[in-house]
Amino acid sequence: MKILFFSAKPYDKQFFNVYNEPYGFEIEYLETHLGPHIVNAVDGQEAVCVFVNDKVNAEIISVLASKGVKIIALRCAGFNNVDLEAARAHGIRVCRVPEYSPEAVAEHTVAMLLTLVRKTHKAYNRVREQNFSLNGLLGFNLHGKTIGVVGTGKIGGAFCRIMKGFGCRVLAYDLFPNTDLQAAGIEYQSLEAVLSTADVVSLHCPLNPATHYLINENTLAMMKPGVTLINTSRGGLINTAHAIDALKSKHLANLAIDVYEQEEKLFFKDLSENIIEDDTIQRLMSFPNVLVTAHQAFFTEEALTEIAQVTLQNVDRLRRGEEPAQGGSLV
């Protein structure tokens, strides 16, 4: 069976080549993202493998179906970039990796939080320039602070447990409270109560019509002055223009994002020799209290191993007429 990968990077090739040995799939890797400009590159492959910024809309799916594609395999958990109804209409199976090392993303969230509140990124740059002054590096303790977690799936739950270990009070909002987390001392409250009480708000929910721009001028206004906001989930959860206004007014004291609504034009690329035309991301990066990483939270050996193993297993099961492991099948 032939599989065509889109948005493939060297690390994708490294891990997928290793774990493909038992399956023997014929894999071709393309670095470009899937879109109208490249969809006709599909030639004889029964499966395509896509990532978070590939565009798999109805138009693309129609072309894929006409070329004999039977499987769309997402090597990620999120699937908001895929038109599932179009896939179903064309008889194309869609699978994903429902979870891969939730701790990888949760730990990166903590790393971003600590970097911001202790200003370690600034200290690193200062010391490299032989500046050992502490002026401007004053931080605050996380111990005793109230952490608000929006979304307590695998990643949000892992983050909750880590923050409890820091000695924080952890408040959570989720449509489906987790009884194990409640038993561990996580307090479930309404979204408004969580946002209005927390010193730090961390987003761990999926992107869908109900959560699009969950953080906007109204929900930002609910938050305490001086709040720290972290998003390692999906860029579209935050209305960036409203977040910038909150940063300018100093209502929002710190912002850390590993995802960005327009990230497909930027992330996973080396643009160091380019002029970036996205004024919004440039404005964000101009704030001294904003930390941006380029969709890095998942990027650990453990997570990439899990992604490769589960993705290939999903494709293998579907080609043999079996269902992927629990949660792996979307259509």
Active-site positions read: 234, 263, 295
CA-nearest of 177, 191, 245 to 219 is: 191
Q: 123-154: b or e for each residue (b if 16 or more CB lie within 10 Å)?
A: beebeeeeeeeeeeeeeeebeebbbbbbbbbb
For residues 328 and 331, what is the distance between their CA atoms, to the nearest angstrom?
10
One-letter-per-residue 3-state SS of the chain: CEEEECCCCHHHHHHHHHHCCCCCCEEEECCCCCCCCCHHHCCCCCEEEECCCCCECHHHHHHHHHCCCCEEEECCCCCCCECHHHHHHCCCEEECCCCCCHHHHHHHHHHHHHHHHHCHHHHHHHHHCCCCCCCCCCCCCCCCCEEEEECCCHHHHHHHHHHHHCCCEEEEECCCCCHHHHHCCCEECCHHHHHHHCCEEEECCCCCCCCCCCECHHHHHHCCCCEEEEECCCHHHECHHHHHHHHHCCCEEEEEECCCCCHHHCCCCCCCCCCCCCHHHHHHHHCCCEEECCCCCCCCHHHHHHHHHHHHHHHHHHHCCCCCCCCCECC
